[in-house]
Amino acid sequence: MNPPADAVYPMLLIPLVGVIALGVIGHSRRAGWVNIAISAATFVASLRLALGVLKHGPLLTTSKMFYIDSFNVYLLVLTAFVGLTTAIFSRTYMLDEMKLGRVSTKRLQLYHAMYQGFLLTMLLALSTNNLGILWVAMEGATLATVLLVSLYRTPESIEAAWKYFILCGVGIAQALFGTVLLFFAAQRVVRNRHQALLWNILYAHAAYLDPAVMGLAFVFLLVGYGTKVGLVPLHNWLPDAHSEGPTPISAVLSGLLLNVALYALVRIKMLADPTLGALPGELMMGFGMLSFIVAVLFLHRQRDIKRLYSYSSIEHMGLMTFGFGVGGALATFAALLHMTVHSLTKSSIFVTAGHAAHIAGSQSIDRIRGLIRTQPAVGWGLLIGTVAIAGFPPFGIFTSEFLLLVATMQSWPWLTIPLLIGLVVALAGLFRQVQPMVYGEAMPDQRPTRTSMVPVVVHLALVLWLGLAIPAFLAQWFNHATFLISGSSLP
């Protein structure tokens, strides 16, 4: 085995140990620190893996079970990083929740164990080379988070969790049917049937897969993984699950789960493109555009701060899906960058939204007023995060949206009009809601809360950095991944 390939295993074993360890001691007051330590160790392991990929190029373990290339390596690091910063936020947040009496020690134990379980499934889904395991990990992510969505056991949260469970379960079942069809098509092409679900083998044989079966398989996989991406009209579970669960879970669902589901979809598109031509791209463009427009309109109607930002997540996932659908080097590069910056920005926004809800004692937008007066750090955090997510320069989202608009202008000029209008409407929707929350007259019963603004500051600083200059190694990964996905790269 080539030495750097070993680095995959610690990255997966550490969270696995974390599940067991926190399953035992997750109720103690120090569990928050243990959670941070485990997440930090995972992050270090992912960095080690990334260094290996940087030095030696794509890695395939001897068992052929794990495959790390330029497309998933930065997503792995990003996932481990957001996992770590959210763990830092989660410690103070959950202690506060304990003090408010919203969670018992037993539920805290469940929460901590499942937090690591969720990270494990995310990292497994990203690093595996086997499309069957990818499915198992995606379903595992639902199973790990479903009890966390209903952690508060209010009727609303149980309803949200049930919806999440059934909708995502049904959706992901379609993806398994697609995977079976893909396996069926691959068996006629790949000689060794035990390797017929390995992505790198399938990629090498993609041009010979039967188009009729692949067409059917792609549609099922699009519907299946699309449900988890939150594409309209399969998005109903998303705002409920995001708003009713504990805020750290909203942050990782929005920042990580949606990304990983989109990653799975793009991997499948890479297999379908050679035989199906333009069809996969056009389907993704259609779903992406529909999600974008519907989410933008719904932004205006929200009365709950976490629902507001979960619709913003649907909007951005729609944009990314649209970008991958447009294809070509520029749009793909833009979509890859957008995945990174959206994940960082949105998780930081959920952190501040969680603090804001604690300050006001409610998630209702009408009850959250004058944050800048009550607790300036939270107010500014929310304001700057919203400025970033709305796509203002100099933040990274401006860069990726600008690139996406340019790419659309080149290949589908008339589609830039709905995109531009949508972005303006989204901007209006966000600021109309955020302005009174940040600047308005403070409510009398608002009280400052214990905050951990470190994740917010770090995330927003990174997004700012990515907006000003993309570091060389990251640009190289993006460029190479762009080449893998679209068949051409930026000059």
Partner 1 sequence: MTPVSLYTQAILMLAALVLFTSFALLAQARMFALIRLYAWQGTLLAVTTALVAWVTHQPRLYISALLTLGLKALLIPWFLNRLVIRLGLQHETEVLQGNSLILLGAAALTVFSYYVVMPIVQLSTLVTRNVIAVSLAVILLGLLLIIVRRKAVTQVVGFMCMENGLFFAAVASTYGMPMVVELGVAFDVLVASILFGVFFLHIRDSIDSLDVDRLNQLREGDD
Q: Is residue 305 within 8 Å of 363, Cβ to Cβ? A: yes
Nearer of residues 107 and 355 to partner 1, judged by Cβ:
107
315 binds partner 1 (CB under 8 A): no
Among 35, 118, 120, 139, binds partner 1 (CB under 8 A): 139
| Side-chain-facing half-sphere of 61: CA atoms under 13 Å | 17
136 binds partner 1 (CB under 8 A): yes
12 binds partner 1 (CB under 8 A): no
d(CA 491, CA 479): 9
CB of 294 to partner 1, least distance (A): 11
160 binds partner 1 (CB under 8 A): yes
Among 132, 361, 418, 436, binds partner 1 (CB under 8 A): 132
9 binds partner 1 (CB under 8 A): no
Q: Tell me which H or E stretch contains 68.
A: strand 67-68
Ramachandran assignment for 327, one of left (phi > 0), alpha (psi -120 to 50 degrees), beta (any other)? left
Among 101, 155, 413, 444, binds partner 1 (CB under 8 A): 155
392 binds partner 1 (CB under 8 A): no
385 binds partner 1 (CB under 8 A): no
Buried b (16+ CB within 10 A) or exposed e, 11-46: bbebbeebbebbbeebbeeebbebbbbbbbbbbebb
Contact positions with partner 1 (CB under 8 A) in 198-237: 210, 212-213, 215-216
CB of 346 to partner 1, least distance (A): 20
Could you give the string, one character per residue 239-258, with x where binding to partner 1 holds by CB under 8 A and - elsewhere?
-x---x--------------
User: Which residues make beta-bridge pairs with 67?
Assistant: 60
DSSP state at residue 441: P
Among 1, 170, 204, 421, binds partner 1 (CB under 8 A): 170
DSSP state at residue 7: G
d(CA 434, CA 379): 10
- What is the residue whose two structure tokens read 């401006």? 398
Residues 6 or more apart whose Cβ sits within 8 Å of residue 214: 182, 185, 271, 272, 275, 276
SS3 label, residue 440: coil
Could you give the string, one character per residue 58-97, with x where binding to partner 1 holds by CB under 8 A and - elsewhere?
-------x--------------------------------
Could you give the string, one character per residue 274-313, with x where binding to partner 1 holds by CB under 8 A and - elsewhere?
------------------------x--xxx----------
Residue 35: closest CA among 98, 119, 105: 119
37 binds partner 1 (CB under 8 A): no
Buried b (16+ CB within 10 A) or exposed e, 412-446: beebbeebeebbebbbebbeebbebbbeeebbeeb
169 binds partner 1 (CB under 8 A): yes
Among 2, 62, 104, 187, binds partner 1 (CB under 8 A): 187
Nearer of residues 133 and 317 to partner 1, judged by Cβ:
133
- Tell me which residues touch partner 1 (CB under 8 A): 65, 130, 132-133, 135-136, 139-140, 143, 146-147, 150, 153-156, 158-163, 165-166, 169-170, 173-174, 176-177, 180-181, 183-184, 187-188, 193-194, 196-197, 210, 212-213, 215-216, 240, 244, 298, 301-303
